[in-house]
Every structure is written in C-alpha cells, then in structure tokens.
C-alpha cells in the first residue's frame, strides 16, 4: 500500500508586516510538489487551503500592539482542526505557509491527534518573542514562545488550554537573528539551540544527529521549516531574509538525515514570498527539500 500524504495550504500573511507570503502555498504547488511526491511512491491528496482573511478585512492592531491577533488565532484554530483530522486519518500532513505563526496550529493539531511529539524548529529566527518583548508586534516572531506557554492567553490556548510543548521537546537549528530580550529568554528556556556558529564548527550532520539524540524520548517528530534558514543567495524569496544561512547541500543533508531516522511524521514549510523570489526558485527549492525529507535519495 502506498504511503498517504495530505497537502494543506495556509495562505496567511497576517503574522508579519511584509505582504506576499500568503502566495507561498500556490508557488509550491506550481513548483510541482504533488507530482514529485507521487514519483516517490506516495498517495497524495491536496486538501486545499485553510480559509484565512486578508489583512484589509481585519483589525490591524490588537491588545498590546499585537498585529491581527484575533484573525491569526482564528486561522490557527482552523489549521489545528485540519491537521488534527489529517493525522487522525493516518496521513502525513505537509502544511504550506504562509508566515510562521501557522505553526501554533500545526503543532497543536499534530499533538492532539498523535500525542507528545518532538519538534525541530529550523529557522534563522528564534520566534521566541512575546507581546512584551516584540519590537514589531508581528506574531510570526512569537509562535514558539506561545507553544511553550509564554505570551498571550488567546494564542497559548489554540487547540486547548495547556501549553503544547515543554522546552526539552524542541531543538532549534540555524538560528542567527535574535532580539535582545528574546535572546535572554531563549538562553534561560532550556531548549537546545544550534546557531549558525555551531553548524559552522561541528558541521550540519553532527548537529542534526545531536538534535535527534536530544529528542530520543519522542519517537514521532514534527519539522517546522522556515525557508529563511537558508542563505538568501540560495533562497531569495523569503519573508525575512538574513545573511549567513545554510547552503543548498547543508539543507539537503539535514533533510536526508531526518528521513533516515524514520521518525518524521509531519512538516510545515513557511515564509516563502514569491514577490521577492527569482522565477519561483525558492518554491522549487522547498519542493526539493520536501522530497529529500520524504525519502528521495541520490542512489
């Protein structure tokens, strides 16, 4: 029997100030994701898009200066339900963003259906701000904080009243841009963080294997992949580019090692901005990385 995958799009750019990442799901589909996965032997169903309002339809600034708070929360609740149903159906969910705030719904949905899950947060940023520490009020810089129970109650309670993760369930890879208060909170959190310095010193293979060892208590893993973890020369079409990121081969090797583990049960891919891209190059790279994560091999 062929393995079953369901693609879900979340065309949301409510969590950030720069427009364009709402077109990310369409760009990845156009880049041939379904055909690539079918070529690997998967049974692929496209579940369409979760309904998300456009910024012009909703209140811009919520409590504490948070942008589009209620609209983001409602959209993430819909993501939560769609992902929970997908996992309960026995399908591997691939969730296409949209900005990284969607992960509050994706992670909650996976855990609601599958139980405690380890999370690999692969991102140039920590996403560990709270409304009190965020310089911008943009919620895409806050999802990981809310998943571990830090921040606004409306976002912590997406998919249920309790925090979805404990710090020891999370490993961050590729971090190189943190706000001052965010840096302090992350250092005190107990989460394992591999910055680009560790990747430079140890090599990506060692980093990923150490991350898998750290998460050994959780046989099921969720990968939350922000394309801005790659260097902008490799992936120019992202919401918040930061120089000095992963190379093309480092990113593929990371996905290949994760595939070899046999533990990844879900993935979200976020922050692809076709407006800033070059002939859909970043979306095509996302398809290639997803193929590597789901088992494509060189030989």
Asked about 252 being catalytic, the answer comes back as no
Write out the two tokens for 298: 């060189």
The reported pLDDT for the residue numbered 62 is 62
Q: Is there a catalytic annotation at residue 260?
A: no
Clarify whether 179 is annotated catalytic: no
Q: What was the pLDDT predicted at 57?
A: 77
Residues with Cβ within 8 Å of residue 137, at least 6 apart in sequence? 61, 64, 65, 66, 67, 131
Catalogue the E-assigned strands of 104-153: 118-122
* Cα–Cα distance list, 172 to 185, 192, 204, 207 (Å): 14, 6, 13, 10
Residue 200 catalytic?
Answer: no
Angle at 125 between CA 120 and CA 32, to 5 degrees: 65
Helix (H, G, I), strand (E, B) or coil at 101: helix
Contacting residues for 59 by C-beta, under 8 A, at least 6 apart: 68, 70, 71
User: Looking at 68, 77, 100, 222, which residue is catalytic?
Assistant: 100
Instruction: Work out the mean pLDDT of the chain and round it to a whole number.
Output: 95
For the segment 9-28, what is each residue's pLDDT rounded down to a tens digit? 999 999 777 789 999 999 99
User: Of residues 271, 277, 284, 288, which has the active-site annotation?
Assistant: 271
Write down the catalytic residue from 68, 77, 125, 231: 125
So what's the pLDDT on residue 299?
A: 72
Q: Which of 10-24, 100-114, 234-248, 274-288 has the lowest mean pLDDT?
A: 10-24
Token representation of residue 27: 């760009």
Window from 62-76, 133-147, 150-164, 234-248 with minimum mean pLDDT: 62-76
Q: Helix, strand or coil for residue 193? A: strand
Cβ–Cβ < 8 Å for 37, 31:
no
Q: What is residue 61's predicted lDDT score, i.e. its pLDDT?
A: 67
Burial class (CB in 10 A: 0-12, 13-18, 19+), 247: middle
Among 130-139, 206-215, 216-225, 249-258, which is the least confidently predicted range? 130-139
Cα–Cα distance between 176 and 174 in angstroms, integer?
A: 6
Indicate if the pLDDT at residue 64 is higher than 70. no
Residues 98/25, Cβ–Cβ less than 8 Å: yes
- Judged by DSSP in three states, 141 sits in helix
Options 13, 226, 231, 288, the catalytic residue: 226
Alpha carbon 221 to chain centroid, angstroms:
13
User: 192-201 burial, b if ≥16 CB within 10 A, otherwise e?
Assistant: bbbbbebbee
Whether 226 is catalytic: yes
Q: How confident is the model at residue 67 (pLDDT cuts 50, 70, 90)?
A: confident
Name the catalytic one among 13, 74, 99, 123: 123
Q: Tens digits of per-residue pLDDT, 162-219?
A: 999 999 999 999 999 999 999 999 999 999 999 999 999 999 999 999 999 999 999 9
pTM score of the predicted model: 0.96
Phi, psi of 142 (to 5 degrees): -125, -5
How far is C-alpha 121 from the chain's CA centre?
Answer: 7
Average pLDDT over residues 84-108: 98
C-alpha closest to that of 141 among 17, 276, 269: 17
Pick the catalytic residue from 127, 179, 198, 256: 127
Altogether, the residues listed in the chain come to a count of: 299
Tokens 């799901």 correspond to what residue?
Answer: 25
**Residue 298, pLDDT score:** 84
Ramachandran region, residue 42 (left: φ > 0; alpha: ψ -120 to 50; beta: rest):
beta
Measured CA to CA, the distance from residue 231 to residue 9 in angstroms comes to: 24
The average pLDDT across 257-267 equals 98
- Report pLDDT for 1: 43
Mean pLDDT (whole number) for 283-291: 98
Whether 100 is a known active-site residue: answer yes
Catalytic residue chosen out of the listed positions 13, 68, 74, 140: 140
Q: Which is the catalytic residue, given 228, 250, 256, 268?
A: 228
């Amino acid at each position: 029997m062929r393995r079953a995958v369901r693609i879900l799009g979340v065309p949301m750019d409510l969590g950030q100030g720069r427009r364009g990442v709402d077109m990310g799901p369409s760009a990845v589909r156009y880049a041939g994701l379904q055909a690539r996965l079918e070529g690997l032997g998967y049974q692929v169903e496209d579940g369409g898009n979760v309904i998300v309002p456009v910024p012009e339809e909703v209140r811009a600034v919520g409590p504490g200066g948070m942008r589009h708070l209620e609209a983001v929360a409602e959209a993430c609740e819909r993501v939560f339900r769609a992902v929970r149903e997908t996992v309960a159906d026995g399908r591997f969910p691939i969730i296409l963003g949209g900005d990284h705030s969607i992960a509050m719904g994706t992670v909650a949905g996976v855990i609601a259906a599958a139980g405690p899950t380890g999370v690999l947060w692969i991102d140039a940023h920590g996403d560990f701000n709270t409304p009190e520490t965020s310089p911008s009020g943009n919620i895409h810089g806050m999802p990981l904080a809310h998943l571990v129970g830090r921040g606004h109650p409306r976002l912590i309670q997406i998919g249920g009243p309790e925090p979805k993760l404990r710090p020891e369930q999370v490993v961050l890879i590729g971090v190189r841009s943190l706000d001052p208060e965010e840096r302090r909170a992350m250092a005190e959190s107990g989460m394992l963080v591999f910055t680009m310095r560790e990747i430079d010193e140890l090599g990506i293979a060692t980093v990923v294997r150490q991350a898998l060892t750290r998460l050994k208590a959780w046989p099921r893993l969720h990968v939350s992949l922000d394309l801005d973890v790659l260097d902008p020369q490799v992936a120019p079409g992202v919401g918040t580019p930061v120089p000095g990121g992963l190379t093309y081969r480092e990113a593929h090797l990371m996905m290949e090692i994760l595939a070899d583990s046999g533990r990844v049960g879900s993935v979200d891919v976020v922050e692809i901005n076709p407006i800033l891209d070059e002939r859909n190059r970043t979306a095509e790279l996302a398809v290639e990385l997803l193929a590597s994560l789901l088992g494509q091999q060189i030989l």
